[in-house]
Structure 1
């Protein structure tokens, strides 16, 4: 009876050993992975910067379009007050 129990008990550390090593490795590398995630959250990638720049330029162009349309409408109503070219907001130049 003792011989039958000795074999499974002897094999238990071999079967569980991989799990223990993997768990220990995960515990050791967790702070490094967490630090990398924090850096990723706090920095802006080039792709994100390009996307944000494009979004901002589209907003500026939309604003310029609205201003031009408003000026044209005013010029149609009051043609004598319109002199020269439109010198309002231009996308990419300004605030």
Structure 2
């Protein structure tokens, strides 16, 4: 009985050693992984910047198009002859 207890006690560190080593590695690398995640959350990648810029430009062009259309309609309502400068680009 005593021999079996000693044998199990001798094998226990070998069986558990991998788990302890993995835990030690995880604890040691935790600050690095946490820092990289925070940096990823706080920075904008180039593809995100391009997408945001494209969205911003499309909204601006749509706004300008609506304004030109409004000015063109006002000009036509006043029966002026110089309304072509306000005509939307698609109709020129």
Q: TM-score range by the shorter chain?
A: 0.7 to 0.9
Q: TM-score, normalised by structure 1?
A: 0.79
Residues 1-95 of structure 1 correspond to what in structure 2 (within 5 A)? 1-80=1-80, 82=82, 85-86=85-86
Q: TM-score, normalised by structure 2?
A: 0.81
User: Going by fraction, where is helix more abundant, 1 or 2?
Assistant: 2
Higher relative contact order (CA 8 A, sep 6+): 1
User: Number of paired residues?
Assistant: 86
Between 26-35 and 2-11, the greater mean CA deviation after superposition: 2-11
SS state of the match for residue 56, structure 1?
helix
What CA RMSD, in Å, does the superposition of the two structures yield over aligned residues?
A: 1.7
* 1:37-80, Cα deviation, whole Å (9 max, x unpaired): 22222221101110110110111011011112211221221122
